[in-house]
Amino acid sequence: MPEQRNLQPEMQKRDEEDSRLLVPSSLELGPGAVDKYVISKQIVRMQEPRKLTPDDLDERRVIYPESRDRALVNRFRSLRTKLLELSGGNNFTLVVSGASPGAGTSFVALNLAAAFAFDQSKTALIIDCNLRDPSLHSTLDVMPETGLTDFLDDPDFDIARILYPTGIPRLRLIPAGSRRETPGEFFTSFRMKQFLQAVRRRYPDRFIVLDTAPISESPDARILTELCDYAMLVVPHGKITATTAENAAMAFNPDKFVGAVING
C-alpha cells in the first residue's frame, strides 16, 4: 500500500503550471517528465478556496472517504482499483457515456473522479463534455464564466481560466463552456487532441474523466473515445432492454471499451 500523508491542500502552483501546458515545449513532456518529489509538493500546495461539507456531499450524492453509504464508496473504490489494474497503475483518460438519457452518467463520472481524489498522492480532473446538457457545474455549485469550448475556440486562451476548484480536495472541474453548438467540431479539432494529451502527460498522478452525452443520442462519446485511453458505459438498471445496452456497448471502439456499470 502506498504511504498516505495528511496533506493541507493549496492548488495555485499547479494551476499556474497548467496555464503553460500548451506551449510547444510542454507538449513534448513524457509520462515521467515531472519529478515525483515536485509533484508531491505541488499536490500539497493545491488550493481549495472552498470545501464542501459532508452534508453538502451527501445532498449531491458525491462520495467522500467518511461517507455513511459505505456500500456506494466501496463500489467506486472497487471500480477505481480495476481501472488501475488495467492501466498498470498509470494515469489515463476515460470517457464515461450513458446507454440512454437518464442513465446517471454524470453521477458515475463524478463519483469515480472523486474516488481517485481519495488518494492523497493522486489528483483527478473531470471534464464536462456533455455540451448538449451540461450538469456538473450545477451539481458542484460552481458558477463558471468560461469552460472547455471557450478554451478550444481561442488558441490564446489561458487554460487556468477553465480549471475550477470543486470543493473536493484534489479534484478539479472543467465545465462545458459558453459555446455549446456543433460539439462534434470542437471534439474533432486538433486542439482537443493536443489538450487531452497534454493534461494527461503533464502530471502522472492525474486521472482524467470525461462526462459525455449518451452514446445512443450523439456521436460525441465515440469521437472522444478515439482521443482517450478507455471508455465506459453506464446502463440504467431496469430501464432499457438488453439489446439496447448491447448496441450501445458495440458502438465503442472495442480496443478501448472497458465495460459497463449498472446504475440504479
pLDDT greater at residue 201 or residue 94: 94
Distance CA 6, CA 229 (A): 31
- Report how far Cα 248 is from the mean position of its chain's Cα atoms: 21
Higher pLDDT, 51 or 1: 51
Q: Where do the domains of the chain lie?
A: 12-263
Over residues 71-76, the mean pLDDT reads 97
pLDDT at 17: 55
Q: How far apart are CA 213 and CA 132, in angstroms?
A: 7
Grid cell, residue 151, equals 478554451
pLDDT, position 201: 87
> Could you tell me the CATH superfamily of domain 12-263?
P-loop containing nucleotide triphosphate hydrolases (3.40.50.300)
What is the mean pLDDT of the segment spanning 172-187? Answer: 88
Q: What is the mean pLDDT of the chain?
A: 86
**Residue type for 17, please?**
E
- Using 50, 70 and 90 to split pLDDT, how confident is the model at 129? very high
Residue 20 pLDDT greater than 60, yes or no: no
What is the band of 27 on the pLDDT scale with cuts at 50, 70, 90? Answer: very low
Which secondary-structure segment (H or E) carries 263?
Answer: strand 257-263
Which of helix, strand or coil describes residue 110?
helix
Identity at 5, one-letter amino acid code: R
CA triple 255-261-264, angle to 5 deg:
160
Q: Residue 44 pLDDT more than 60?
A: no
In the numeric block, the cell 508531491 is attached to 40
Contact 243, 216 (CB under 8 A): no
pLDDT class for 46, splitting at 50, 70, 90?
low
pLDDT tens, 200-257? Answer: 988 889 999 999 999 999 999 999 999 999 999 999 999 999 999 999 999 999 999 9
Q: Give CA–CA dist 190/243, Å, rounded.
A: 35
Residue 13 pLDDT grade (very low, low, confident, very high; cuts 50, 70, 90): low
Segment 106-113 shows an average pLDDT of: 98
Give the per-residue pLDDT at 203: 85
Alpha carbon distance 30, 117 (integer Å): 22
pLDDT at residue 179, as a whole number: 77
Quick one: pLDDT at residue 247? 96
Residue 242 CA: distances (Å) to CA of 181, 205, 218, 246: 32, 37, 20, 6
- In the chain, the percentage of residues whose pLDDT exceeds 70 is 82
Amino acid identity of residue 179, one-letter, is R
pTM of the predicted model as reported, rounded to 2 decimal places: 0.84
